[in-house]
Amino acid sequence: MRPFAYERATDVRSAVATLSERPDAVYLGGGTNLVDLMRLGVVSPEMLVDVTRVVDATIEESAGGGLLIGAGVRNGDLTADPLVRGRYPVLAQAVLSGASGQIRNMATVGGNLLQRTRCSYFQDTSKPCNKRRPGSGCPAREGDHRNLAILGHSSSCVATHPSDMAVALAALGAVVHVEGRHGPRTVPMPGLHRLPGDEPDRDTVLEPGDLITAVELPELPFATRSRYRKVRDRASFAFAVVSVAAALDVADGVVRDCRIALGGVAPVPWRAELAESALRGAAATAAEFGRAADIELAQARPLRDNGFKVPLARNVLVGVLTDLAEAR
């Protein structure tokens, strides 16, 4: 690990000011991903600004009828919160299905959103990687990519986004509150994360100095009927091969509304907007769910060794929606 300076922020504004001036500085939240990446040499900031004691760590009801979750809330606390569990079970389930109890106690909501990919080439500094070193190439396209993207990838990057939480937030249409050089603003999800295109080193639309201060969940009554399902290579403590976050509003056997996002299949938490629009007004049947999944996955461009994710994603999606349709 390269030497770095450590500074504990005293307030959000000064933290933002510091980072705005120092491109070699980064924010430190729970550190579960950043410290690991620094140890691997993937990132080598010269300064860490610890924001864990200044970023809000509370969960409260928002003016719009939703929830305002401070970016400093630890993932463990997020899953313990009665409002989250009662109104947005998909979010609690998504976070609970990620990492381990210990890591969830450390990781913050803001940091979770900004996790870097677990693509093994990104993690291995002896290998080229356009995300880590722009222009160096992407060995994953021809190499080991079984667990990489089938959607939204580009010729320069086929990585997947690793977060479970972000998939649920993308489905729920959360709004990310950001404090930046020019003051506060909001970024809706999906939209925080960006597709790699020819700039895969930029995971998000955030600008230098931007600090995530909160995540706002919109009022979404039917999210009480929501679920996260994750397929992985072992029963627990593993990243998603494919995951689905969904909420379903059904009346008289007809889908009134729905929210769907896919994880483990794209460089971003993938909001399945095509599937959603195909389902609104459709019968809440497995056949219709399958049709909607097919429409969404028609965009898939699997690589040599990850074609299995296409039908797998379809099966997970149909399974989740069917369960939700049958749930009381």
Partner 1 sequence: MDVQLSVNQDQHPITVDTRETLLDTLREQLDLTGAKKGCDHGQCGACTVLVDGRRVKSCLALTVTMDDREITTVEGLADGDTPHPLQAGFIEHDAFQCGYCTPGQLCSSVGMLAEFAAGWPSVVTPDVSAAPHLDEGEIRERMSGNLCRCGAYVNIVAAIGQAGR
Partner 2 sequence: MTDIQVTSPVRDGVGASAPRPDGTLKVTGEFAYASDLWMDGMLHGATLRSPHPRARILSVDLTGALKLPGVEAVLTHEDVPGAKLYGVDHADQPVLAIDQVRYQGEPIAVVAADHPETARRACALIRVVYEVLEPLTDPRRAALDPSYEKVHAGGNVVRHQPIRVGSVFEADVVVTGEYEVGMQDQAFLGPESGLAVPAEDGGVDLYVATQWLHVDQDQIAPCLGLPPEKVRLTLAGVGGAFGAREDLSMQIHACLLALHTGKPVRIVYGREESFFGHVHRHPALMRYEHGATRDGRLVYVKGEIILDGGAYASSTPAVVGNAASLGVGPYSVPNISLDAYGVYTNNPPCGAMRGFGAVQACFGYESQLDRLAEACGLDPVEVRIRNAISEGSRIATGQIVDMPAPLTSMLEQVRDLPLPEGVSTDLRDLPGGVANSTHGEGIVRGVGYGIGIKNICYSEGFDDFSTARVRLEVIGEEAAVLVHTAAAEVGQGLVTLKAQIARTELGVPNVTIAPADTQVGSAGSSSASRQSYVTGGAVKTACEAVRERLLELAAKKLSHDGLALSGGKIVSVSGIVVASVAEVLGDDVIEETREYRHRATAPMDQLTGQGDAHTQFAFCVHRAVVDVDVELGLVKVVELAAVQDVGKILNPIALEGQIHGGTAQGLGLALMEEIQVAGGLIRNPSFTDYLIPTILDMPPMRLEILENPDPHAPYGLRGAGEPPTLSSTPAIVAAVRAATGKSLMRIPVRPEHITGT
Query: Which of 149, 226, 248, 140 has its CA nearest to residue 193?
Result: 149
Q: Which of helix, strand or coil describes residue 8?
A: strand
Q: C-beta of 150: minimal distance to partner 1 in Å?
A: 25
Q: What tokens were used for 117?
A: 């990919």
Q: What tokens were used for 252?
A: 């008289």
Sign of the dihedral through C-alpha 137, 141, 146, 151 = positive
Residue 262 CB partners (closer than 8 Å, separation 6+): 151, 167, 242, 243, 244, 245, 269, 270, 272, 296, 313, 317
Residue 281 CB partners (closer than 8 Å, separation 6+): 254, 255, 256
Closest CB to partner 1 among residues 63, 235: 235
Closest CB to partner 1 among residues 165, 278: 165
Backbone angles phi, psi at 103, to 5 degrees: -70, -35
Q: C-beta of 178: minimal distance to partner 2 in Å?
A: 29
Query: Do 110 and 71 touch, CB atoms closer than 8 A?
Result: yes
Q: C-beta of 98: minimal distance to partner 2 in Å?
A: 11
Residue 79 within binding range of partner 1, rule CB under 8 A: yes
Please report which residue ranges of the chain form alpha helices under DSSP H. 12-21, 34-40, 75-80, 82-87, 89-96, 101-106, 109-113, 120-123, 165-172, 273-279, 286-297, 309-326
Residue 236 within binding range of partner 2, rule CB under 8 A: yes
Q: How many residues bind partner 1 (CB under 8 A)?
A: 39
Closest CB to partner 1 among residues 34, 310: 34
Residue 102 CB partners (closer than 8 Å, separation 6+): none
Residue 251 within binding range of partner 1, rule CB under 8 A: no
Residue 28 within binding range of partner 1, rule CB under 8 A: yes
Residue 32 within binding range of partner 1, rule CB under 8 A: yes
> Which of partner 1, partner 2, none binds 326 (CB below 5-8 Å, type-dependent)?
partner 2
Closest CB to partner 1 among residues 90, 250: 90
Residue 237 within binding range of partner 1, rule CB under 8 A: yes
Q: C-beta of 218: minimal distance to partner 2 in Å?
A: 22
Q: Which range binds partner 1 by CB under 8 A, 28-36, 54-62, 192-200, 280-288?
A: 28-36
Closest CB to partner 1 among residues 7, 257: 7
Residue 230 within binding range of partner 2, rule CB under 8 A: yes
Query: Which of 285, 288, 305 has its CA nearest to residue 296?
Result: 288
Q: What does the binding site for partner 1 look like in residue numbers (CB under 8 A)?
A: 1-6, 8, 28, 30-32, 35-36, 38-39, 48, 50, 52, 76, 79-80, 82, 85-86, 89, 92-93, 96-97, 99-103, 105-106, 235-237
